[in-house]
Amino acid sequence: MDISDIDKKLDMKGKLEIIGESDIFRWSKLYGINMTVFIRYGSTLEDSFFKIFVSKPADDDIYKGLISTFSGLEQKSYIVITRSIMDKKIIELITGIIKIPSVYLSEMTIENGKLILRLRFNHNFSQDMSSLLTQYLYIPYFIDNILIKKSEGLKLLMVKKNARVPLSILKYSVPLSLFELDPGLKSIAESECIMLISNMDLPDNRFDVSIFSKEKLEVNERIKPVMRIENMYRYENYNKFMIDVKIKANDHGIFRNDETVVINGNELYVTLTIAQNQIMDYIEMLFASSMKYFKKNVITLKTVAPFDENLF
C-alpha cells in the first residue's frame, strides 16, 4: 500500500481562516510574517496555549522587536514565542474538528494576521464538518473564510507546498523487534496497512495514528474502526520512542508533512517531508531519541534528499 490508498479515503480538503485577537496576529499582518503554530493542551481549555515558531526575519528591527515584545526565545534559526489563547472559541473549534472521524489536521499557521488551518477528511463526514462550522459562522469577526473542496491528492499538495516552502524528503527504518507488540501493533504487523501519523499534541500525550488497511483488522482496546469508512481505523499508541521524537520536533517547530509508516518484514519504515532548513535538526533528534531509549543508534537512513514527487 502507498499514499494513493490514503488519498482514496482522505478525499476532501479544507482551509479555514480565523480572525485572532492576540497581539501576535497583528504583528503577522503588520510585518508580513508567517508563523508555524502548535497548540499545547493544559488540564483545561483555559490552560492551553499557542507555541509559535518564527523563522528569524532578515530585518534586524523586526527580529529585535519580536524578542522584546513577546519575550521570544532565540534559537539557531528561529524564535519561539508562547502566547495564551485569548479567544477560547479557537481551541473549542479545533477540538471539535479533530473529533470528527477521519480528520487529519495537515498544518496550522499564522499568516497575514489570521490563524490558518489546513485539513483533510473523508467525504462521508462532509455534513458533520458543515454542521460544526455553521455553528461558528454566526459569530461576528471569527471565521473570515472557509474553503472545502475535493482534494487533489497528497502528492500534488506537496508539490504545491514545495513551491512555497522548499521541502526535503526523509525515509528511515527502525527494527520492529525494538517495539513492544501491543495488541494494536501486532494486528497491524500481520496485515497489509499504511499508517498516517498525527503531528498534534494531544491532551493525554498519546500518539494518534490513522490506519488504512487492505483487509479488516481485529478491533481491540487500541484499534477502533472509523465509522462509515471501510478498512480505516484509529490506533492509539503510547510508544515512548515515537512520542519522544514527536515532542522534540513539536518543541522545535518542525512540522512533518503527512508522515507515513509501513511495516515490511521485521522493519518499520517511515516516510515524511520536512522544510529543507529543518531536516538536519530532525535527524539529530531521531538519533538523540534512539540513544535515549535504546542506548545505541537503531535508525537506518534510507533517503535524505530535496523533495521529488517520484520519491514520495
Report, as ranges of residue numbers, the positions in the chain whose pLDDT lies below 70. 43, 45, 201-205
At residue 279, the pLDDT reads 94
Cα distances from 99 to residues 123, 137, 182, in angstroms, run 15, 19, 24
By CB atoms closer than 10 A (0-12, 13-18, 19+), residue 95 is: middle
At residue 208, the pLDDT reads 80
Cell numbers for 58: 532578515
At residue 17, the pLDDT reads 97
At residue 205, the pLDDT reads 65
Q: Quote the CA–CA distance of 159 and 169 in Å, as a whole number.
A: 12
Model confidence, pTM:
0.91
- Could you read off the pLDDT of 192-225 as tens digits, one per residue? 999 999 887 666 667 788 999 999 998 888 899 9
Helix axes 240-251, 279-294, angle to 10 degrees: 150
At residue 148, the pLDDT reads 96
Q: Quote the CA–CA distance of 188 and 269 in Å, as a whole number.
A: 13
